[in-house]
């Protein structure tokens, strides 16, 4: 049995196995070249963040390829879509990049909002008290005041004219009684133009909500007209 084992022959290359010609002659050199390549591959560099961006880049390329494929397959896109695409993307990224929402620069005084509620409440209460005072003035009373004001104004003008002309005539007196109320009102309406808008609003608010809404949009001439209508 032992003799049989020893009699087994080690293949000498002629038992069906073949090698390239001069294989062993070139083997050392070939192995040395492989070693050099393996060592130098560690020194190869890629652009910074190359691998970080690679996935997105590949996905973008796939996206474009897919789109082009779709276009070639009868899909349509808006005219100049690709020409305008970069602008569109740029425009979106402009607002994203600029982040102008967060560059306010606006500040408020310290604790401004903490005291604001009390401050506003006290002011609105005061305003409410003032407007209550105004509301008790009826249109009729206001008319009387207007007439009184015009009388004073006319008297003042009359006196000034009399003084400046130096033509004092004791026999010539202005007879106020001869001027009717309507004439005085007409005079006041024609000559008094500096109406206080908010006072007028208040006057017309009393029992007349529609008028106040309309007043918002009226100019002075229209308000005068409205006043005239109310007086007549």
Partner 1 sequence: MGSPIKNNITVVLEDQNILDLIKVDETRDKGFRALIDKYKQKLYWQIRRMVLVHDDADDVLQNTFIKVFKSIDRFEQKSSLFTWLYRIATNETLSFLEQQKKYQYDTVDDHQEHPAIARLKADPYFDGDELRIKLEQVMQSLPEKQRMVFQLRYYEELSYKEIADILETTEGALKVSYHHALKKVEDYFKSK
| Structure token pair of residue 123 | 């002011």
Among 196, 200, 193, residue whose Cα is nearest residue 214: 200
Which helix (H) or strand (E) is 139 found in, with range?
helix 139-165
Which one-letter DSSP state was computed for residue 125?
Answer: H
Q: How far is the CB of 81 from partner 1 (least distance, A)?
A: 18
CB 210 within 8 A of CB 142: no
- Interface residue with partner 1, options 100, 144, 161, 183 (CB under 8 A): 100
**Shortest distance, position 192 Cβ to partner 1, whole Å:** 22
Tell which positions 120-139 bind partner 1, by CB under 8 A.
120-121, 123-124, 127-128, 131
Least separation in angstroms between CB 168 and partner 1: 44
Binding mask 209-228 for partner 1 (x = CB under 8 A): x-------------------
**Tokens 């609105």 correspond to what residue?**
124
Q: Judged by CB under 8 A, which of 42, 109, 173, 221 binds partner 1?
A: 109
Q: CA-based angle 146:151:153, to the nearest 5?
A: 95
Please, which residue, 153 or 205, has the CB nearer to partner 1?
Answer: 205
How far is 111 from 105, CA to CA, in rounded Å? 17
Helix (H, G, I), strand (E, B) or coil at 80: coil
Both structure tokens of 99: 């982040």
Return the number of the residue (93 or 191) whose C-beta is nearest partner 1.
Answer: 93
Which residues here bind partner 1, judged by CB under 8 A? Answer: 91, 94-95, 98, 100-101, 103-109, 113, 116-117, 119-121, 123-124, 127-128, 131, 209
């Amino acid at each position: 049995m032992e003799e049989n084992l020893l009699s087994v022959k080690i293949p000498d290359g002629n038992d069906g196995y073949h090698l390239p010609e001069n294989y062993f002659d070139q083997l050392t050199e070939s192995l040395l070249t492989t070693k050099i390549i393996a060592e130098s591959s560690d020194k190869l560099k890629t652009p910074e963040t190359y691998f970080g961006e690679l996935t997105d880049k590949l996905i973008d390329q796939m996206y474009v390829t897919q789109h082009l494929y779709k276009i070639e397959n009868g899909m349509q896109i808006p005219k100049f879509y690709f020409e305008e695409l970069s602008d569109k993307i740029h425009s979106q990224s402009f607002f994203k990049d600029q982040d102008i929402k967060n560059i306010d620069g606006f500040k408020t005084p310290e604790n401004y909002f903490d005291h604001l509620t009390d401050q506003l409440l006290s002011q609105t209460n005061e305003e409410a008290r003032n407007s209550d005072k105004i509301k008790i003035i009826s249109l009729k009373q206001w008319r009387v005041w207007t007439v009184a004001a015009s009388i004073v104004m006319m008297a003042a003008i009359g006196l000034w004219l009399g003084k400046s002309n130096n033509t004092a005539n004791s026999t010539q007196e202005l007879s106020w009684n001869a001027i009717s109320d309507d004439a005085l009102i007409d005079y006041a309406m024609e000559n008094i133009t500096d109406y206080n808008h908010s006072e007028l609003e208040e006057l017309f608010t009393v029992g007349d909500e529609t008028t106040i809404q309309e007043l918002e949009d009226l100019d002075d001439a229209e308000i005068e007209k409205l006043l005239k209508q109310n007086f007549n």
